[in-house]
Structure 1
């Protein structure tokens, strides 16, 4: 009697994907809060502000218009792509053809489609670490191989050209850039981006530039890779969206732009997966980009205030090293000195264990550094109310006293 090997129930490709650590922490915190625990969450990268009223009103009006009840072009509404091109020119000085823009279901779809459009099996992607949790999963799902290049607090979490060159092999096809950075809040200078872009240009390496936090810098000017090295345009894909700038995380509107052939491939893929982004969300995004921008500055001022507050409070905890973030809304302290210490009769050997102790004993949710490529760090988002921020960090101060 012959026996056959049981068929695999879940494909190897999808079985290898790890759950989003940041969303998992946020979900656990919300579940505990729903159960009556006074959890304060520093996990999710989500502004606590409501979406601006004028954006919501535009969506309500759009929902009543029958033209938005039907399919629309897979790559996005023409008027939204035009507004994205105009906004890109105004912000960065980079000229983009609206035909070379694809509106995506959030920034994550843009991330995946960018890798899917470029990668063949075994192609390598240089991935500066600490990195956002989705990047390596999207790379692997597209058949690529992430090659991590770590930059610690001594480098302000910014990789150097020498590090990139040391990681380059004949299989290197892409460099991923995220500035301002999730999870560290690091922002590359114009000189650094010029050097990195020139290196990529010289070696024929594609750049995928995630610019979702472009408007969240504090006391410094944001630099755009294509403004620094315009010659790189034929081998660069830029990712962006309305989620962070306009407090629109739940609306799911992102975009990508780049060379026509790559954008055509991504559009074809999107036409067979999700088709168009919900028209009401696209109309809301159009209103956000073309409406009054004062709200952007107001939110940035609030984030800046919270940034200074969380850094100063965390620095009061012995053993916590806190580089000052210059962008986004995250702080990324080095907490290696807390590992191995007795904390209420418990000892953490890594930051995953430390985050569990913090959640259970202090009722504060943070994301461990393992989610971003290295143990020894914690990511805390300061996109929450001032009151919750103070209460949450006060709890940490008491826990580690």
Structure 2
């Protein structure tokens, strides 16, 4: 289908350049039927080119047509200009100037990244960004908004935020910083409990988690906490690898696509898995790859899921780079947990719900996980995680 669309556009451009009437153009050797929407597209492009009061900006018109096509699909599909695609790639390098938040296509916040200006400014999951530096975000693309929020460290950006429990929008003034994301953080809590926090599922996160698990076991850890709170997701394959550190065998996730049989992804058998007692922390900002891991662990009853219901993103996007440096990000599948659950919009329900207490001196959700492990597996006196 992509080849067909690109060929149609190429044919249209060729005919426009030589001022030739384009109705009835053949595509892949066959003339378009009279009722074909592509024929309508050709006719409208011709009429605009020859009869609009102003000379047509061909590139602008074609880009508008492409964006319109993609916008009609679903909220997570989008056309990225060369500049927008380059900006998106910067994030995966792990270092950029900005405020450190992850947003949805509708510009609601999925999660602030731990320790960043957005986190310190108390931006929260499900906050809606309605203006950036006084500029309305209505009809603004996700990547355009991200580009506006990024900038040189030390510069400022003002966000206008709508929050569910507030009647009026709030203004948030934030100073940009160099965002260096430590994607995996590990530590021991006391002598017995290992702790792993994943900020985002980028390249090699699965390998780093597996190495950390092996080190913790060598140190004599007796239980483990996997913290996926405010982790917006990332690379699908890394989610499979992370789950493989905790599940011995079987299916991790399956993907249903339009024209192919289900893709079933099993555990990475090259990874050593641990049998240590496990608690997984999630919240409203845990999405996509985070939910793949939490869903698999929950389905296999491999550990306890604790916290708040996760975000609920059960679709898979693929990137199709174009020759001119632009790219199409498009939803190409839906994923299902090992038990066949489709969690889109529903999220992963925790086995034990624990609200985050902003007035608590510390991290009450993490302390609840430690207390559960102490009482259930270690029979020790509970000590605050600190």
Could you say which TM-score interval applies, normalised by the shorter chain?
A: under 0.3
Larger radius of gyration: 2
Please report the TM-score for the alignment, with normalisation by the length of structure 1.
0.24
Which is richer in helix?
Answer: 1
Which is richer in strand?
Answer: 2
Please report the TM-score for the alignment, with normalisation by the length of structure 2.
0.24
